[in-house]
Amino acid sequence: MPENIIAPAPAPVDDRVRKPAVRPPRPGFALAVILTCQLMVVLDATVVSIALPGIQRTLHFSAAGLSWVQDVYLLVFGGLLLLGGRAGDLFGRRRLLVVGIAGFTLASLLGGFATSPGLLVAARAAQGVGAAVAAPNTLALIVSTYREPTARARAIGLFSSMSAGGAAVGMILGGLLTSYFSWRSVMFINVPFGLAIVLLAPRLIREPERHPSRLDLPGAVAATLGTGTLVYAFIHAATAGWGAGSTLGWFAAAAVLLTGFVLWEAYGAVQPLLPLHLLRHRVRGGGYLTMLLLPAAMYGMFFFITQYLQNVLGYSPLRTGFAFLPLAVLIFVGARTAPRLVPRFGARPFLIGGPILLLTGLLLLTRVDATTAYASGILPSMVLFGTGAGFTIAPLSITILSAVRPEESGAASGTLQTMQQAGGALGTAVLLTVFTSATRHPAGRGPDALFAHGVSVGMGVAAVFIAVALLLVVTVVRPSGRPRAARGVVVGSGGSGSR
């Protein structure tokens, strides 16, 4: 089942007619379309954050209801990613990318015109569906298109920079659009880019060979409901308390659903949504768990530092967005540079050094209080955090996808992105619970001091996430050596490719 591009014979006319369908004329343009798609779906996880106050004023959201504008996107996106990856293997990855972005674009347009809370939340959920259909196929298209190890590593590095930096870029873009236009512009901005992708993707991206498969709908339902219920349980615990019967009930329901999902995948599904051997591989399984923990800390940091800058330091939305510019630039630069250095030095320096920088940045944020200045108290942490994230995500992605068979690249990349989105949603929910508990008893503190105390405690828990991720890298993933090619697939350092 080779996917290498073969030059057509010169004589037959039919070969000349079929050539554009076999090979995209400009692979660089094809990669640009794929990366734009990925940037769109990642941006929307955070681009609404700074717009939330305007959304609340316009549509009269309650305080609790407002959180769903962001959470419902992450939940639906993360919950359906595995199904999107498997559907791409079955129906065609390029086709699913186009269909997903078309749905995402239409939902963005409807969300921009929303006149009630229910309509906006429904539009955000529909965006999540479109993103879940498109996103796993972006990475799978890169894996199936770039067969040469160095070229693929560079392409994955660009993809990782979009994935890692997109959330921070969303903060900047949200600040710009909200300040100069209105909150509706953060929805409308997706429309022209989405239309461009829908028009250009069929012309520039080669459709890989499809693989006979079956959609595991029971597994998809169990995974989506289980993940969503678990996130909701943490959010509910923030208001009702950990000991409340309703909180325990939600956690129990999540445990039942997720256990049912694992049992179904292991024993019931004819063609599992998540092939469990992808997780049983030591390096890959440890890498997936590490990928769950990194966004848990990252999204939590974005969520709380954004509010700290506006609520405590009094920053405007525009100024808040630009406060994240150093972090976004460093993530992008690191994600672009790391794949070029991994073949020379191996993944180990990055997968150990990067989390150490992340951990240091978060520990510095545990010292914030009501008098902390941005330049001396926040900026150094952002520099450390951005550098650490940029030098960690790309090598970890390459390691996880080491020696994945082409017929399972959709499932493998879908699982990777599921870990990212589920980690972001779970991390934010956990840290919100911690923040609420820390600010429940004022102890003589003023509003700003109390809020800063909650942020400090939350960043301490985020640091624990990174510490566990670092421990996993050292003891389970244990990257060593340098990448090598195996069966035509890039092998990240530390990945043997064995099953």
Contact between 466 and 293 (Cβ < 8 Å): yes
Of 224, 355, 243, 209, the closest CA to residue 291 belongs to: 355
222-234, pLDDT tens digit by residue?
887 887 788 788 8
Whether 223 maps to a domain, the answer reads no
* Alpha-carbon dihedral angle through residues 381, 386, 389, 395, given to the nearest 10 degrees: -140
Q: What is the pLDDT of residue 256?
A: 94
Give the structural domain span for 64: 24-205+271-491
Contact between 140 and 413 (Cβ < 8 Å): yes
Whether 194 maps to a domain, the answer reads yes
Q: Higher pLDDT residue, 146 or 493?
A: 146
| Whether residue 84 has pLDDT greater than 70 | yes
Pull the structure tokens for residue 136.
Answer: 């796993």
Contacts of 180 (CB under 8 A, 6+ apart): 318
Contact between 24 and 141 (Cβ < 8 Å): no
| CA 369 to mean position of chain CA atoms | 30
Contact between 490 and 152 (Cβ < 8 Å): yes
Over residues 247-272, mean pLDDT? 87
315-324, pLDDT tens digit by residue?
887 888 888 8
Q: What is the pLDDT of residue 164?
A: 63
Q: What is the pLDDT of residue 480?
A: 56
CATH of the domain at 482: 1.20.1250.20
CA angle 291, 293, 298 (to 5 degrees): 100
* Alpha-carbon dihedral angle through residues 400, 402, 405, 411, given to the nearest 10 degrees: 10
Q: What is the pLDDT of residue 37?
A: 85
Q: Higher pLDDT residue, 431 or 347?
A: 431
Specify burial of residue 331 (Cβ count, 10 A radius: 0-12, 13-18, 19+): buried
Whether 84 maps to a domain, the answer reads yes
* Alpha-carbon dihedral angle through residues 390, 69, 242, 244, given to the nearest 10 degrees: -170
Q: What is the pLDDT of residue 110?
A: 94
CA distances from 3 to 6, 98, 306, 406, 409 (A): 9, 21, 45, 9, 13
Is 30 in a helix, a strand, or coil?
A: helix
449-467, pLDDT tens digit by residue?
888 888 899 999 999 999 9
Pull the structure tokens for residue 129.
Answer: 């569906």
Distance of alpha carbon 274 from alpha carbon 414, whole angstroms: 9
Distance of alpha carbon 79 from alpha carbon 101, whole angstroms: 17
Whether 214 maps to a domain, the answer reads no
Contacts of 235 (CB under 8 A, 6+ apart): 67, 71, 429, 432, 433
Whether 254 maps to a domain, the answer reads no
Pull the structure tokens for residue 119.
Answer: 């309509």
Q: What is the pLDDT of residue 217?
A: 81
Q: What is the pLDDT of residue 126?
A: 93
386-399, pLDDT tens digit by residue?
899 888 887 887 77
Residue 491 sits at φ, ψ, to 5 deg, of -115, 115
Res. 100 pLDDT band, cuts 50 70 90: very high
Distance of alpha carbon 362 from alpha carbon 459, whole angstroms: 6
CA distances from 271 to 209, 211, 218, 411, 499 (A): 18, 12, 11, 11, 18
Contacts of 185 (CB under 8 A, 6+ apart): 112, 177, 178
Distance of alpha carbon 75 from alpha carbon 230, whole angstroms: 10
Distance of alpha carbon 422 from alpha carbon 336, whole angstroms: 24
Mean pLDDT score of the chain: 78
| Whether residue 9 has pLDDT greater than 90 | no
Pull the structure tokens for residue 153.
Answer: 């590593």
Pull the structure tokens for residue 407.
Answer: 């017929």
Whether 360 maps to a domain, the answer reads yes
| Whether residue 90 has pLDDT greater than 80 | no
Q: What is the pLDDT of residue 13?
A: 42
Supply the pTM of this predicted model. Answer: 0.74
Distance of alpha carbon 23 from alpha carbon 407, whole angstroms: 19
Whether 5 maps to a domain, the answer reads no
Is 490 in a helix, a strand, or coil?
A: strand
Distance of alpha carbon 79 from alpha carbon 228, whole angstroms: 7
Q: What is the pLDDT of residue 489?
A: 38
Q: How many domains does the chain have?
A: 1
Distance of alpha carbon 468 from alpha carbon 360, whole angstroms: 14
Residue 447 sits at φ, ψ, to 5 deg, of -55, -45
Whether 367 maps to a domain, the answer reads yes
| Whether residue 177 has pLDDT greater than 60 | yes
CA distances from 467 to 351, 421, 462 (A): 12, 20, 9
Neighbours of 70 (CB within 10 A): 22
